[in-house]
Amino acid sequence: MSTPTMGAAQVFRLPDLGEGLTEAGLVQWLVAVGDTIVTDQPIAEVETAKSVVELPSPFAGVVTALHGTAGDTIDVGAPVLEVADPAASEADAGSPAAVEHEAYREEERAGSGNVLIGYGTTERTASGRRRRPAAVRADLGEAPASRTTPAGSSEKTTIVRETDAVPRRPVAVRSPLVRRLARDLGLDVHTIEATGPDGAVTRADVLRAAVDNAVDGAAAHHRDTTASASAPSGTDGSVDGLAVRARERMSPLRKAVSAKLTRSRSEIPEATVWVDVDATALWDLRAHMAPEGGRAPSVTALLARFVLLALEDYPVLASRLSDDAAELITFEGVNLGVAADTERGLMVPVIPGAHRLTVEQLDGALRELAASARSGSMPPERLRGSTFTLNNYGGLGVDGSAAIINHPDVAILGIGRIIERPWVVDGTIVVRRIAQLSLVFDHRVCDGGYAAGFLRRVTELIEHPLRAFGRV
């Protein structure tokens, strides 16, 4: 997918997208080979673990090559497209295009994060922006444009690491963000090769080590699976005697969800308490809460308000543990995460400062979050920072769930269907609307009595909802 070069080719490589992401899925191209583009023009839509975003080009000129087709996965640092400048005069070092290109490259090398609006910045050295030595750039895979592998080719480019040419200093991690990223990915910083100009381990070093580990782990898993096959197979299209219908690569979102849930289960000693609650009064009250010409607040908005009121009395359940689990950090207020089921998978958008919102404001925020999450346009910053998570899985038609805590939260409350069931009231069996509440909490931060007290408070507000609005 290329045309003859019109001048010095400029290769746009997938930038560091932040959030510890190492790849993005190519959704669709917004340009074609031969198109003339301008700086910051969207050239493709890519899917990250957070959302679908437009990828702007840092270069202006004529598109000479597109690397990949819709559905492909592009690694950070891999070529995305190539651009040639049709004006020979602009190839001079002092031309506006050259100056703009160099400014972009300097910003990218410094880890600005401005390549994609909305993604966080990477670490910077104390002396500001600094150009990497040539050998280090080669080590990071920044190959010259003339050696770029054509799109669609299966040929792999081998990068020779000039370790002898670059003196190595003792391994050091200067940025706490880099150290945390390594810890989140399960990597030992002492085993990571440092390429920073001052001998420090950089974000790129950590991401590259994570990719190498993933490749090695996948290869080992493949060997183990092949060796453990109990039935011989005459083709590569069967496993344990069953024909393989399809092999589908995990999407960036599924990988991110998998990593987060795995960390939650491996680090948090969770416990669960649950209770059946009579939600009849709440159900009846909601029907009368619709303003004239408007609609009543959602059940989730009402439950969210009750949860926030209960957390005022039980703030530990909206706290966090420090990275070394030596300190319990409590907050003035709550950033409420709300689990949302979307076509792309599970997302947990966050309502910051939810404790300050009324039921009507919570209802509006929840509807807006749900629409953004389902459309795939949720900004990354709206998917982090929660201190407590609410999961109304009753909308999925189920009564209960063994939920997994949304790390780094320490608790999650699940709500099942509100359905009619026989219920004993004053010795008489009557039909009431019953729901099951399930609280999963980190047993390191509190014990069962504290968690049960919170659940009783939420139950009281659901059974007597007028008390939550100061009417009783």
Q: Reading across the β-sheet that carries 23-29, which strands appear in turn?
A: 52-56, 42-47, 23-29, 73-75
Confidence band for 168, pLDDT divided at 50, 70 and 90? very low
Q: Are strands 52-56 and 42-47 parallel, antiparallel or unpaired?
A: antiparallel
**pLDDT exceeds 50 at position 116:** no
**pLDDT exceeds 70 at position 469:** yes
For CA atoms 202, 203, 204, 206, the dihedral sign is positive
CATH superfamily for domain 253-469:
Chloramphenicol acetyltransferase-like domain (3.30.559.10)
**pLDDT exceeds 70 at position 338:** yes
Secondary-structure breakdown of the chain: helix, strand, coil percentages, each rounded to the nearest 5: 35, 20, 45
pLDDT the model gives residue 261: 74
> Are residues 90 and 419 in contact, defined by beta-carbon separation less than 8 angstroms?
no
Query: Across 176-185, 227-236, 343-352, which has the greatest mean pLDDT?
Result: 343-352
Confidence band for 217, pLDDT divided at 50, 70 and 90? low
pLDDT in tens, 232-261: 444 457 787 778 888 777 777 667 777 777
SS3 of residue 150 by DSSP: coil
**pLDDT exceeds 50 at position 157:** no
What fold, for 9-162?
A: OB fold (Dihydrolipoamide Acetyltransferase, E2P) (2.40.50)
pLDDT the model gives residue 228: 47
Enumerate the CATH 2.40.50.100 domain ranges in the chain, comma separated. Answer: 9-162
pLDDT the model gives residue 70: 84
Cβ partners under 8 Å of residue 46, min gap 6: 14, 24, 25, 26, 27, 52, 53, 55, 74
**pLDDT exceeds 70 at position 383:** yes
Distance of alpha carbon 433 from the chain centroid: 36
Q: Are strands 328-329 and 350-351 parallel, antiparallel or unpaired?
A: unpaired
Count, residues in the chain? 472
Cβ partners under 8 Å of residue 31, min gap 6: 37, 41, 43, 44, 63, 66, 81
List, by residue number, the catalytic residues: 443
pLDDT the model gives residue 458: 96
CATH of the structural domain 167-224, one choice from 3.90.1150.10, 4.10.320.10, 3.30.300.180, 2.60.40.420: 4.10.320.10
Distance between CA atoms of 416 and 398, rounded to whole angstroms? 6
> Are residues 472 and 466 in contact, defined by beta-carbon separation less than 8 angstroms?
yes
- Burial class of 306 by CB neighbour count within 10 A (0 to 12, 13 to 18, 19+): buried
Enumerate the CATH 4.10.320.10 domain ranges in the chain, comma separated. Answer: 167-224
- Dig out the tokens for 331 from the structure: 């907050």
Residue 446: closest CA among 295, 306, 300, 317: 317
pLDDT the model gives residue 49: 61
Distance between CA atoms of 49 and 264, rounded to whole angstroms? 18
